[in-house]
Amino acid sequence: MREAGGGGDGPADGVSRGVAAGVITSATAIAGQRPGAPAGQLLPIGFVDPGATLTTRIYALTSGMNGPGNFGWLSWTGTNNAGDLATSLCTPNNPPFTLPRQFAGDPGKTNADDVRACLAQWVENGETILIPIVYAAGDPASPPGCQTGSNGNNFTFCIKALAAFTITGYAQPAVDQINGMYLGTIPYSAGADVPSGVTAPPTATDKFYYFGLAQ
């Protein structure tokens, strides 16, 4: 960037400066790790923690093994409605929350056209999406008041972490298995809010980080 009133290239210190009407302004680029994810960027799919995960490996995000009548769908509002599920899939609308957090399950398979269309959107565009990682049903390591389990409309999921995936495909006609390529787990601190602020500078191997400007 070229400095106002000067020649040559901009400064090499990473600070952008400008002069307008006698007012000097400056901004510095900053980056850092996020402990969670911004509100409105999670898909309502509960991926049971598999333990060790391998980057670029394809995983079955849902496989009908969560519990009786449940196939991995979460409901941010507690409703069991295909239209609400499609909205949360097409235009992510999760609320902010603190990890770990329990949410209601959205029971049953679904073959609604709009749900399939929303999943097809993510398969076709190949964009990175965020998926909640949940405790397995009955996991004794689940914290008090946050459980994955029960049945039917009473089923709940306890979210323990967040992970990044690209959706690679799903079963037809009823969407009862969604496959995704694992890209990495979002770092967070227990008890941190989602969304939350920067916690540390990024490392050379970070795939997920915050970038912004500070005056």
pLDDT at position 40 is 66
Q: Is residue 39 part of a domain?
A: no
Q: Please tell me whether residues 204 and 181 are part of one structural domain.
A: no
Is residue 27 domain-shared with residue 59, that is, in the same domain?
no
Same domain, 83 and 143: yes
pLDDT score for 187:
66
pLDDT band at residue 213 under the 50/70/90 scheme: very low
Claim to verify: residue 169 and residue 184 sit in the same structural domain: yes
C-beta of residue 112 within 8 angstroms of C-beta of residue 120: no
Q: Which two tokens stand for residue 114?
A: 């709009």
Residue 146 belongs to a domain: yes
Above 50 in pLDDT, residue 15? no
Same-domain pairing of 6 and 76: no
pLDDT band at 198 (very low <50, low <70, confident <90, very high): very low
Q: pTM of the full predicted structure? A: 0.71
Q: Does residue 158 lie within any of the structural domains?
A: yes
Whether residue 111 is found in the same domain as residue 70? yes
Residues 8-30, mean pLDDT to the nearest whole number: 50
Q: Considering only residues 29 and 179, tell me which one the structure prediction assigns the higher pLDDT.
A: 179
- 3-class DSSP state for residue 108? coil
The strand pair at 156-170 and 101-105 is best described as: antiparallel
pLDDT at 133: 92
The verdict on residue 164 lying in a domain is yes
**Looking at the domain assignment, is residue 202 inside a domain?**
yes
**Residue 99 shares a structural domain with residue 28:** no
Averaged pLDDT, 169-180: 78
* More confident of the two residues 151 and 88: 88
Instruction: Count structural domains, the chain.
Output: 2
165 in a structural domain = yes
pLDDT at 72 over 80: yes
- The answer on pLDDT for 44 being more than 90 is yes
Asked whether residue 213 falls in the same domain as residue 134, the answer is no
- The encoded tokens of residue 61 equal 């995000």
**What percent of the chain has pLDDT above 90?**
28
156 and 79 housed in the same domain:
yes
Is pLDDT of 158 > 80? yes
pLDDT at 197: 39
Same domain, residue pair 183 and 202 = no
Mean per-residue pLDDT of the chain: 75
> Looking at the domain assignment, is residue 41 inside a domain?
no
155 and 57 within one domain: yes
Q: Is residue 40 part of a domain?
A: no
Token digits of residue 212 = 């912004």
What contacts 24+ positions apart, CB below 8 Å, involve 62-68?
62/176, 62/177, 62/178, 63/176, 63/177, 64/109, 64/176, 64/177, 66/105, 66/137, 66/148, 66/155, 66/157, 67/105, 67/137, 67/148, 67/149, 67/150, 67/151, 67/155, 68/151, 68/152, 68/155
For residues 6-14, average pLDDT: 48
Query: Which is more confidently placed, 28 or 96?
Result: 96
Q: For the segment 81-140, what is each residue's pLDDT rounded down to a tens digit?
A: 888 999 999 988 888 888 899 999 988 767 788 888 899 999 999 988 899 999 998 899
Same domain, 134 and 213: no
pLDDT at position 26: 56
Domain that holds residue 61: 47-193
